[in-house]
Structure 1
Amino acid sequence: MTQLALLARLSADDRLPVERLTRHPRLPLVAGAATGCRLVRIWDCGGGQVRELAPVDLGLAPEPDPADWWRPDGPPPVAWHPEQPLLVVADGNTLTRWTPDGPAAAAQAPAVYHHLAFSPDGRALWAKPSGDSSHVLDLATGAATPGPYWDTGVGVHPSGELVATLVSDQAATFCLFARPGDGDAQAMRQLRHALVFTADGYGTPLFSANGRHLAIRGNSYFESVDVFAFPSLRRVLTRTFSEDQSEPWPPDNLAWDARPGVLWIGTPTGSLLELDVEAQETTEHAFPADAPVSALAATASGDLLVARTNGELALLSVRPAAPVPEPTDDVTVFLAETDEVPLEGELEEHLVYTDGGGTWEYQELDDNQAMS
């Protein structure tokens, strides 16, 4: 039986509670941010403790850029370096680097960025401005080169050999897979096999600790999560949290356990749901705190960090703990069954779509939509 043990508790800001927790993939560091808050907080969660480090203070909000037709209404974008204790925060036309010594002076950015992600080798920063493009930023020089279009955060497979992100509009959303660039070409190399969803507003794809599952939080119209097996992309589970918009669930409320196939879900009641996605069994873990969960993350060591709307931050250990996942050849299997998207032509015309059940080529998908 799974038990959650409280390791540490910390009070933060109950006026602007943390809405997004971004964990470092290998170090016990977690960044927290909230909408409307100009402070990005960083915590060291090592050794069963929660210790707050120097934050990134963004100061006064920058004046909106008239050329930037859309500005994010969520927390400021952040990204952790895959190996180093380095965080990058985007704010208007600036980027700020944070290390354990504290934040450096903000540097001018080529554009206003709405999403950030490091390439898996840490050599480049992938950045998403407005419009149908992206930038690849060279960390050494700050130079920006064009990259393929994506519009949401980037999920990295634990092998570092594959990433997943989204391309969306109000009618449909594609979860695209890509190989990281190599050498001097650090842009994503998008692949033909893609997941397709209706509507928009989905969250960043989230690979499980062993890479065997992919969870996607969505969407604009109802609270839900979809889970797919990898590399088959078979839909394992769809769970609707609520169709009542008057009871919003926290958008950043998913975290994979280190145990295979176990997904944790934060709720508006303050409890955590333990979901076995293959068995489709759910266990609710209640806590004395009566404040709703505002964000949830799993640290690099496998503990759960829970933020609540009353400003509390709690670090929980999961017992029994899982062993370190063994490496697999799942990405090799996936890559063997797909190709890179050609540079010419429309992206949608090159994709092979699956909804987790059936699979279609572009023309078949277009014909099916015409018939319906």
Structure 2
Amino acid sequence: MEPIILIFVVIALAVVVLSVFFSFVPVMLWISALASGVRVGIFTLVAMRLRRVIPSRIVNPQIKATKAGLGLNINQLESHYLAGGNVDRVVNALIAAQRANISLVFERAAAIDLAGRDVLHAVQMSVNPKVIETPWVAAVAKNGIEVKVKARVTVRANIDRLVGGAGEETIIARVGEGIVTNVGSSDSHKDVLENPDSISRTVLGKGLDAGTAFEILSIDIADVDVGKNIGAHLQTEQAEADKRIAQAKAEERRAMAVAHEQEMKARVVEMKAKVVEAESEVPLAMADALRSGKLGVMDYMNLRNIESDTQMRSSFGKLTDPGTDKDRE
């Protein structure tokens, strides 16, 4: 029984060794590469394992590139993989660019991929332009009427400006700015409604795709709508503000008038007090004049007569006509 057990142990060890060998050394991938005309050594595949590179992610794209006649080598693909790029997507983009007769080299495609852009999508967009629809853009004409415009921008990817070029958000912002400028320079909103194509011509002529990753092919006005009367609304708010300012100034003038009136009343009271004080000094002055001989007895009597006559006249002036009082009642 012992020789049989030994045979089973040997077979089991052989199976384990072969499994480890075939899992570490991609023999089937090497055979597939040779059958496709890609010359890659078995030790090169083992070295990829040691460099922590998945061989299938390098060899399979190399097979596609060789079949497409791109002339790439393993080192280029492996270096791009180690840099964190997507090798399969770059090779697919190069094949699509070759079929579409677009000039694109591996270095440019790898740089675009490492920049975080989808190079395959960019190549497809170069062949098949994309339509970007802007949101509603509100602008006000010179007559104060609001105009809302929605546009469709047809763009094509610019391969040479994909690295460092601005994206779709910049295109939308620039188109919106152009729409606002064009509508704002119109004398009336009717001019915009009659000739919406003038917006397209004006905006397209501004070179809005400068510094972006796209090339604008056309700008088409999808919809135009009339909004609020912004001019009348602003005039109403201005009139309301002017009214409030006038009311505030009137209230200020009223407060100043009340303060002036109170001040005048205080002055009158002060003057009356001074008059009473002066009148209280008159008898003392007359007594002093009599003692000093400056005022004679006859002069004093004449003064008393004048005072009596003045009091009599005052009492006559206070009498009222009975008929007048009845009429008043």
Structure with more of its chain in helix, by fraction: 2
**Relative contact order, higher structure (CA 8 A, sep 6+):** 1
- The structure having more radius of gyration, on CA atoms, is 2
Give the TM-score normalised by structure 1: 0.20
Structure with more of its chain in strand, by fraction: 1
Give the TM-score normalised by structure 2: 0.22
